[in-house]
Amino acid sequence: MKILITGTSRGIGLACAKKYIAMGHSVIGFDIMESAFSAPSYTHMLVDITKKLPDIEGVEVLINNAGIQDGPDVIDTNLKATIAVTEKFAFQEKIHSVLFMASSSASNGAEFPEYAASKGGVVTYMKNTALRLAKYGATSNSISAGGVYTPLNAHIMDDPSLMKQCLDETLLGRWADADEIADLSYYLTNINRSMTGQDLLIDNGEQLKSNFIW
């Protein structure tokens, strides 16, 4: 299948690119950064998703992964550009599945204000696309991760005391690896046929964590 993934130079996007290639698909990656990764079935394109998008025909799986955490461009990047990418590449006959990287903050609000708002918008937009993509027989879902070990969180991972505080917030005492998110992405887009319009929380029990006092 022809897979388009945004934000493939590192982190979750890179793990997804490697996963889909390992499963025999061809991947086009958009990123503002160069990629150190190369493979015969991988095409890296220097594209800023907030700007003019290139023309690509016949995308079968679209993974909206590129995102930033803070600063003045959060809504433009995480929400407006994600909508622009989806409207341009998803609504055509070849489309099989669309996936969005939302965030656990979409449901609990516990992040930078614009980040949480942008991801809440992504989840609602995902549901909107599920309704409109059904006529192509395509699914649309989102993944809402809690902490994932990626360069986005380098400042936490480099600080043992901050890292411990974050892990103590979770029920399982751990964060997810980017590979786990890539595996779940693959399931949702290429194995799943009946789940659509759903947001999947993968947060090591962080939102569930509570104590029973008796």
Integer Cα distance of 35 and 7 in angstroms: 10
Give me the least distance between CB of 85 and ligand NAD, in Å please: 9
* CB 153 to ligand NAD: min, Å: 5
Minimum separation from the CB atom of position 15 to ligand NAD (A): 8
> Which parts of this chain interact with ligand NAD (CB under 6 A)?
6-7, 9-13, 30-33, 47-50, 65-68, 77, 101, 103, 145, 147-148, 150-153
Q: Between 134 and 172, name the residue whose CB sits nearer to ligand NAD.
A: 172
Assigned token pair, 125: 């937009």
Task: Output 137 or 173, the one with its CB closest to ligand NAD.
Answer: 173
Closer to ligand NAD by CB, 122 or 138: give it. Answer: 122
Q: Considering only CA atoms, which of 143, 211, 132, 137 is closest in space to residue 178? A: 143
DSSP 123-163: HHHHHHHHHHHGGGT-EEEEEEES-EESGGGHHHHT-HHHH
Q: How far, in Å, CA of 65 to CA of 7, rounded?
A: 6
- CB within 8 A of 182, min separation 6: which ones? 12, 15, 16, 18, 19
Name the residue nearer to ligand NAD (CB basis): 95 or 181: 181
Least separation in angstroms between residue 29's CB and ligand NAD is 9
